[in-house]
Each structure stands twice: as structure tokens, then as C-alpha cells.
Amino acid sequence: MFTKASGLKIEYSKTGKGGNVLLLHGWGGNIESLSPLQEILSKKGFSVVNISLPGFGKSETPHKPWTLKDYAVFLEELILMLRLKRPILIGHSFGGKISTRFVLEFPNMISRLILINASGIKPKNNLKKNVLAVATEIFKVFASIFPAKSRERIKNFYYRYVVRETDYLKSEGLKETFKKVINEHFDQELKLIKVPTFIIWSEKDTYVPLWMGVKMRNLIPNSKLEMVENETHGLPLQKPKFTADLIDKYLQENPD
């Protein structure tokens, strides 16, 4: 199915009956990423909406680079369009980053915030990032001397094996957006979140390490952290039933 939000055609699906839940996948994903989680949550008594974020799946791409504020405004319009009354907002990875910005901008529109291996905490390796930024500028000059086809192969090698930032390679049509949102962080704002928050984090996540989840727990009032042993960044994709059981247990233990 499709709907419109922020002037874009957005792919979505809705399953189940009960309290409203909205799922947001990570960067490079689409509606299929969290479909198994959607199905299991719907069987647990929830009405679950799952979408492809703008630029992914069959959803249209924004006409200009977006910031996280743009994503928050988009999400507000989507929730109103689909008539979701104070849904539980569940975001994985970049979807969690959007969810965090959304609750900071529109604190009264959701009933619960659930973050799964969410980005949004400023990394510690600032020196490494600064060195890579300089190296990237040098790389651009170096690559420019090669033919276009060769430049593309060199660029893919550079981002995959030197920068180790494969999300950039998944952002066709959204590269300028990616550059904007990857540098937005919430360290100074998380204390302003008032919505009850459940944070699920994988012990062996190397993309957003566990210390980031601990920091989120320490900064967000009325939050709980569940650390999952021996799991990695793709937890809700790889173990949707386990993830759904964690979410359901939390919601039963923390009713409205």
C-alpha cells in the first residue's frame, strides 16, 4: 500500500489489531527489513505499521537533502495521515535516530519510545574521523585523474575497506542526506526526553557499540536498557521473535 507524506509517495503495510505500533528500519533497509518483526508483534495483539523510509524500497526520494528535523516533520505528517493515535515508536539503527529526533520535536505524539541499536551518540574516535576526513579530500583529488568507470570502483573500494562506511554505498540518491544526518548527535538533548523509553542493545554491536546504549540509558529519564548477549547490529532482522518477546515483556511490565 502507499500513502503520501511530505509530498512523497510512501510504501507501507498495516497488520493486526490493537494498540498502534510504528516501525522504522535502518539505513539501507526497507519495508522488508522489519516485516518478520511486524508479523510477530501483530500476533501479540498490536496494530503494526511498517514503512519504507523516503528513498528506500518503493518510497519516493526527497527532492533535496534532508536533516533529521525533516525526517521528524515527515513522521508527524505520516502519523496524522494514517490516524495513528499515540503509537509506540520502534526504531532500529538509523530508524532509532529518526525516532529520537521525532520525540524531541513532538514529545506528545507517541506513548512509548523503543530504540534498538540506535545511532545518535557522538563517537569517541573523533581523531580517527578527522584523519579520515582529510584522507577523503586527498582521495577525491587522486581519483579525479581516472576515467569515470574506474573512479566508481575506486570509490567503492575506499568506502568499503578504508573508511569502512558501507552505509554510504547504500545511499544512492541520498548521499548528501547521509552526510547531514550522520553528523547529528543527541548527547546534549537526551535528558529532555520524557516519554518512557526501552533501549535494546546487542553486546557485540560494532557499528554502534554497547557503551552508546549505556550512555543513552544514563541520559534519558525513565528509560530501561536491555543488553542482549552475543548479538550484533542486525538483532531485529536476525532474531525478530526474540526481539518481539523482549518488547512485549517490557510493555506488559510497564503499562500506560
Each residue's pLDDT tens digit, 53-90: 999 999 999 999 999 999 999 999 999 999 999 999 99
Buried b (16+ CB within 10 A) or exposed e, 207-221: bbbbebbebbbebbe
Domains and CATH numbers, the chain: 2-122+185-253 (3.40.50.1820), 126-176 (no CATH)
Question: Rounded to whole angstroms, what are the CA distances from 116 to 25, 99, 253?
Answer: 10, 11, 18
Instruction: Tell whether the model's pLDDT for residue 242 goes beyond 60.
Output: yes
Each residue's pLDDT tens digit, 138-164: 445 444 555 655 545 544 543 444 434
- The secondary element (H helix, E strand) that includes residue 242 is helix 240-253
Cell 495521515 maps to which residue? 81
SS3 label, residue 5: strand
CA 88 to chain centre: 15
% of the chain surpassing 70 pLDDT: 81
- For the entire predicted model, the pTM comes to 0.85
Sign of CA dihedral 153, 156, 159, 161: negative
